[in-house]
Chain A
Amino acid sequence: MKFQKRTWSSLFIIALLLLLSACSGSDEGSTGKENSGDSDEASTQKITIFQSKVEISDQLEALAKEYTTETGVEVEVWGTTGDDYFEQLQIRLNSDQGPSIFSLQNVTEAEKMKSYVADLSSEAYAKDIAPGMELKVEDKIVGVPYGVEGFGLVYNKDLVKPEDVADYESFVSTLEKLKAEDITGLGLSKEAYFLIGHISNYPFSLQSDHYEFIDKLTSGDVTMAETKEFQEFGKFMEAIKANTPSPLDVTYDKEVGDFAAGKSAMIHQGNWAYGMLADFDVDFEVGMLPFPLNGTDKLAVGVGNNWAVNGKKDEAETKAAKDFLNWMFTSETGHRYIVEEFGFVPALTTIEANDLDPLSQDVLNASNSGQTIPWAQNYYPANIVPNDFAPKAEEFFLSKDMTGEEFIENLDDAWKNAVK
């Protein structure tokens, strides 16, 4: 009896030990794999990339492969879906499992990650970044744009002429005219950024100094409700609500589908929407026009994503990461990938862009001729768009009698909540 018990317990302990050793065993296996490359120094280095634009994952992996063949440095691209990227990045950095290269959307994110981002100011390509497009924290360049992007009124050239939407009066009468023909004048969709995020950008961008304005708004020195551009923006939103179907019923897919089918004449979107538009049979010409708040004729052009290097990794890895970015921004292969494979409007003056799609071409033209207003949304408090602006916008579109003025007051409250 006694003997039997002891055998059982020892068997059990052995089983547990086996399990644990299986764990540690597999680790040796994987490190062994890493070192099994060539014997020269560079090849033992491995870098990892973690980024949020799922649409380019495939192409990025291909680029990484080319880099490995050329230099021997192993590059691993991690995957994540678009919506939980920043949470995952945060968790990984906190548990010392961070990637060597990661993406950041804007200054607010960069400020948050201040202690992790490496200084890229002295990199060779840094001087070539289009003016004002670099991601800076405390005067150091910490992020290089993926590309520039622009948004505005994406329009069907058969249904709308540029002079139809040149100012508030013409904009409203165009919406009314289209409504009478049973066509949606301007389509928005329910995703936070497409519902309110991008469009809310205009009254901020039109301030003479939007940084200062945002600071004052945060400190409570000004309110949106008392600012002229916002009052006008409220009127625009009211006109959109009055003359188009509720965007809360519309997904991004449907927004673009309706536009492609000719059911809506304009949608408020950016050049990225072309990728989706190409999936539909579109038998008319498309282009992008400025949203005529205060009669402006400039497109909102900015940067949606930036590459950043993790400065908290050991020196060799940080250097290898910088080398990779340097290669991507200076080599011919890198340039080809950025323009042709990723489909970006390049943000580096040294990269030439040919054969852009019509929307990207409009963005590039505006950017080259300086007809642009900035993306003030990059300086909004973190996540204010999904957390605070979107609920207010939903409320606005749900309640038939909320005026544009009340909506702006609500946005003031949302801002206060986000910065408290």
Chain B
Amino acid sequence: MQNKNNKGWYLLFTAPLFIIFLTVVVIPFVIGIYYSFFKWDGIGANPKVFVGFDNFIKLFGDTRFLESTWKTTLFTILAVISVNIVGLVFALLVTSKLRTSNAARTMVFMPYLIGGLILGYIWQFIFLDVFTLIGEVTGLENVFFNWLIDMDFALYALVFVFTWQMAGYIMIIYIAGIQSIPNDVMEASMIDGASWWQRLKNITFPLLMPAFTISLFLTLSSAFKIYDVNLSLTGGGPANSTEMFAMNIYNEIFGYGNYGYGQAKAIIFFLIVAAITLTQVYITKKREVEL
């Protein structure tokens, strides 16, 4: 009886959201998988030809896609590191009872409040006008120039802007994590005379593990999926050197009109990212300290 009741509760708590979620996300995704076995230009009335696994096989000879895979990986690694360091440092600073904490917290979070494409356009101004100006004034012209037209630096520009946008968001998660560390633990360690670094290493970091898990996963997945900033900041250029995964897929589907092939790319992309991020979640979850 108890068991049956529990099942009812389980259903009542999880089913409503899960059903909505299935309708909106999972079923369309499955439809997408279905299309990946067809050669189709994405126009409803035009013929769909079943090609089996051809689209998937074709992928491995597609140098532009492979290049974009490599670029996305590189971007993700750099972005995850820089977003998390900046976010964590700010979180530690603003929770350490400084007078400027509140103001700083809002300011750092501001970029995330401005979503969408216009961010990229504004940064175009900054790279073009401000960076070149700083270069002229300081004489450091090989560091401060328009990064966006350099095949290597354009990627760093993307990391830079992505960090600027995401750091505040990640900071919020770390703040929540830091603040959920019980005060008595901290106080006890202070009385014991632990130094700032010892407290950080032995108490804060281990207890922050859940926040690490979340933050790493969030940055990892949004860096892999980056599209808006990519489109508005570099548009994939110069010469395709910053064409990330999502943009490559989008161009395949809507630019070249290869709907089925684009979907095949999306699925491979999904499998790769899922494998990486789920491994990450698994590893960090293992290290979490349960209270």
User: Are A and B in contact, CB atoms below 8 Å, in the complex?
Assistant: yes
Shortest CB–CB separation between residue B21 and chain A, in angstroms?
14
Residue pair A116, B256 in contact (C-beta under 8 Å): no
- In A251-298, the 8 Å CB interface with B consists of 251
Flag B64-77 by CB within 8 Å of A: 1 or 0 each. Answer: 00000000000000
Inter-chain CA distance A86–B149, complex, in Å, is 28
Q: A113-B43, A392-B239 are in contact. Are A398 and B255 (CB under 8 A)?
A: no
Question: Which one of B44, B128, B257 contacts A382 once the chains associate, using CB atoms below 8 Å?
Answer: B257
- In B38-54, the 8 Å CB interface with A consists of 41-46
B124 CB-CB contact with A under 8 Å: yes
Q: List chain A residues, Cβ under 8 A from B193.
A: none
Inter-chain CA distance A398–B151, complex, in Å, is 9
Residue on B nearest A86 in the bound complex, by CB = B254
Q: A9-B8, A87-B254, A398-B151 are in contact. Are A94 and B238 (CB under 8 A)?
A: no
A58 CB-CB contact with B under 8 Å: no
Residue pair B8, A90 in contact (C-beta under 8 Å): no
Q: A16-B16, A383-B256 are in contact. Are A90 and B239 (CB under 8 A)?
A: no
Shortest CB–CB separation between residue B154 and chain A, in angstroms?
10
Residue pair A90, B12 in contact (C-beta under 8 Å): no
Inter-chain CA distance A249–B46, complex, in Å, is 41
B36 CB-CB contact with A under 8 Å: no
Residue pair B149, A246 in contact (C-beta under 8 Å): yes
Residue pair A94, B44 in contact (C-beta under 8 Å): yes
A115 CB-CB contact with B under 8 Å: yes
Shortest CB–CB separation between residue A206 and chain B, in angstroms?
27
Residue pair A398, B238 in contact (C-beta under 8 Å): yes
A390 CB-CB contact with B under 8 Å: yes
Inter-chain CA distance A382–B16, complex, in Å, is 44
Residue pair B237, A394 in contact (C-beta under 8 Å): yes
- In A5-64, the 8 Å CB interface with B consists of 5, 9, 12, 16
Chain B contact patch, size range: 20 to 34
Q: A90-B254, A394-B237, A398-B238 are in contact. Are A249 and B146 (CB under 8 A)?
A: yes
- In A92-117, the 8 Å CB interface with B consists of 93-94, 112-116
Q: A112-B257, A115-B45 are in contact. Are A394 and B238 (CB under 8 A)?
A: yes
Shortest CB–CB separation between residue B185 and chain A, in angstroms?
38
Q: List chain A residues, Cβ under 8 A from B257.
A: 112, 382-383
Shortest CB–CB separation between residue B266 and chain A, in angstroms?
15
Shortest CB–CB separation between residue B228 and chain A, in angstroms?
12
Q: For chain B, what secondary structure do more than half of its interface residues adopt (helix, strand, loop), or is it mixed?
A: loop
Question: Which one of B16, B128, B149, B255 contacts A387 once the chains associate, using CB atoms below 8 Å?
Answer: B255
Choose among B8, B146, B239 the residue with the greatest number of A CB atoms under 10 Å from its CB.
Answer: B239
Inter-chain CA distance A386–B240, complex, in Å, is 10
B251 CB-CB contact with A under 8 Å: yes
Residue pair B43, A115 in contact (C-beta under 8 Å): yes
Question: Which one of A248, A383, A386 contacts B149 once the chains associate, using CB atoms below 8 Å?
Answer: A248
Flag A108-135 by CB within 8 Å of B: 1 or 0 each. Answer: 0000111110000000000000000000
Residue on A nearest B254 in the bound complex, by CB = A87
Residue pair A249, B149 in contact (C-beta under 8 Å): yes
Question: Which one of A12, A112, A418 contacts B43 once the chains associate, using CB atoms below 8 Å?
Answer: A112
Residue pair B254, A387 in contact (C-beta under 8 Å): no
Shortest CB–CB separation between residue A266 and chain B, in angstroms?
22
Inter-chain CA distance A408–B257, complex, in Å, is 25
Q: List chain A residues, Cβ under 8 A from B251.
A: 387
- In B120-155, the 8 Å CB interface with A consists of 124, 128, 146, 149, 151
- In B233-260, the 8 Å CB interface with A consists of 236-240, 251, 254-257
Inter-chain CA distance A418–B64, complex, in Å, is 13
Inter-chain CA distance A382–B12, complex, in Å, is 50
Shortest CB–CB separation between residue B145 and chain A, in angstroms?
10
Inter-chain CA distance A112–B254, complex, in Å, is 12
Shortest CB–CB separation between residue B213 and chain A, in angstroms?
31
Question: Which one of A12, A90, A249 contacts B128 once the chains associate, using CB atoms below 8 Å?
Answer: A249
Q: List chain A residues, Cβ under 8 A from B46.
A: 112, 114-115
Q: A246-B149, A398-B151 are in contact. Are A112 and B128 (CB under 8 A)?
A: no
Additional 12 contacts, C-beta under 8 A, given A93-B43, A246-B149, A390-B237: A12-B12, A16-B16, A87-B254, A112-B43, A112-B257, A113-B43, A249-B149, A251-B124, A382-B255, A386-B255, A398-B149, A398-B238
The 7 A-B pairs with the shortest beta carbon distances in the complex, nearest first, are: A115-B45, A395-B239, A394-B238, A94-B44, A394-B239, A248-B149, A87-B254
CB within 8 Å of B: which residues of A? 5, 9, 12, 16, 86-87, 90, 93-94, 112-116, 190, 246, 248-249, 251, 312, 382-383, 386-387, 390-392, 394-395, 398, 418
8 contacts between A and B (CB under 8 A): A93-B43, A114-B46, A248-B149, A249-B128, A383-B257, A391-B236, A391-B240, A398-B239
